Structure 1
Amino acid sequence: MATAEVAVVSPSSLNTDTTPVPESAGTAAATAATSSATTAAAAVAAVARTGSEATVSKPTMATKLLSLSGVFAVHKPKGPTSAELLNRLKEKLLAEAGMPSPEWTKRKKQPLKIGHGGTLDSAAGGVLVVGIGRGTKMLTSLLTGSKRYIAIGELGKATDTLDSTGKVTEEKPYDKITQEDIEGILQKFTGNIMQVPPLYCALKKDGQRLSSLMKRGKVVEAKPARPVTVYSISLQNFQPPLFTLDVECGGGFYIRSLVSDIGKELSSCASVLELTRTKQGPFTLEEHALPEDKWTIDDIAQSLDQCASLLPEELALKKSKPEESNEQVLSCEYITLNETEENDDVIKTF
Structure 2
Amino acid sequence: MAGNMSTSAAPLTSSLAKLQSLHGLFAVYKKPGPTSADVLNALKEALLKEAGVENSNPRKRKKQMLKMGHGGTLDSAASGVLVVGVGNGTKMLSTMLTGSKKYVAVAELGKATDTLDATGSVVLEKGFEHITRSDVEEKLRSFTGDIMQVPPLYSALKTQGQRLSVLLKQGHKVEAKPARPVKVYGLTLQDFQPPLFTLDIECGGGFYVRSLVDDLGKALSSCAHVKELTRTKQGPFTLQEHALHQHQWTLEHIRRSLQPCSDGDHLDQQRST
The alignment's TM-score, normalised by the length of structure 2, stands at: 0.90
Pairing partner for 1:118 from 72, 75, 83: 72
Give the Cα–Cα distance (whole angstroms) in 1 for the partners of residues 16 and 158 of structure 2: 38
Q: Which residue of 2 aligns with 1:44?
A: none
Q: Does the 8 Å CA contact 1:58/1:96 hold for their aligned counterparts?
A: no
> Within the alignment, does 1:236 sit opposite 2:190 as a pair?
yes
- What pairs up with 1:71-150 in 2 under 5 angstroms? 71-100=25-54, 111-150=65-104
Residue identity over aligned pairs, in percent, reads 63
The amino acid of 1:90's aligned partner reads K
The amino acid of 2:182's aligned partner reads V
Q: CA deviation at 1:176?
A: 1.3
Q: Which residue of 1 aligns with 2:271?
A: none
Pairing partner for 2:176 from 222, 227, 234: 222
Q: Which residue of 1 aligns with 2:230?
A: 276
Q: Which consecutive residues of structure 1, in runs of 5 or more, have no partner in the other structure?
A: 5-51, 318-350
- Higher radius of gyration, 1 or 2: 1
In structure 2, the residue corresponding to 1:289 is in which secondary structure? coil
What is the number of equivalent residue pairs in this alignment? 262
Give the Cα–Cα distance (whole angstroms) in 2 for the partners of residues 242 and 135 of structure 1: 40
Q: For residues 127 and 316 of structure 1, do their structure 2 counterparts lie closer, same or farther at Cα, with a shift above 3 Å needed?
A: same
Pairing partner for 1:70 from 7, 24, 43: 24
Q: CA deviation at 1:100?
A: 2.7
Give the root-mean-square deviation of aligned CA atoms: 2.6
Q: CA deviation at 1:315?
A: 2.9
Give the Cα–Cα distance (whole angstroms) in 1 for the partners of residues 62 and 75 of structure 2: 34
In structure 2, the residue corresponding to 1:233 is in which secondary structure? strand
Q: For residues 160 and 108 of structure 1, do their structure 2 counterparts lie closer, same or farther at Cα, with a shift above 3 Å needed?
A: closer
> Within the alignment, does 1:314 sit opposite 2:264 as a pair?
yes
Give the Cα–Cα distance (whole angstroms) in 2 for the partners of residues 171 and 313 of structure 1: 54
In structure 1, the residue corresponding to 2:172 is in which secondary structure? coil
In structure 2, the residue corresponding to 1:192 is in which secondary structure? strand
Q: CA deviation at 1:167?
A: 0.3
Give the Cα–Cα distance (whole angstroms) in 1 for the partners of residues 87 and 106 of structure 2: 36
Q: CA deviation at 1:213?
A: 1.1
Q: Which consecutive residues of structure 2, in runs of 5 or more, have no partner in the other structure?
A: 268-273
In structure 2, the residue corresponding to 1:198 is in which secondary structure? coil
Q: Does the 8 Å CA contact 2:111/2:125 hold for their aligned counterparts?
A: yes
- Moved segments of 4+, more than 4 Å: 107-110
Q: CA deviation at 1:298?
A: 1.0
In structure 2, the residue corresponding to 1:263 is in which secondary structure? helix
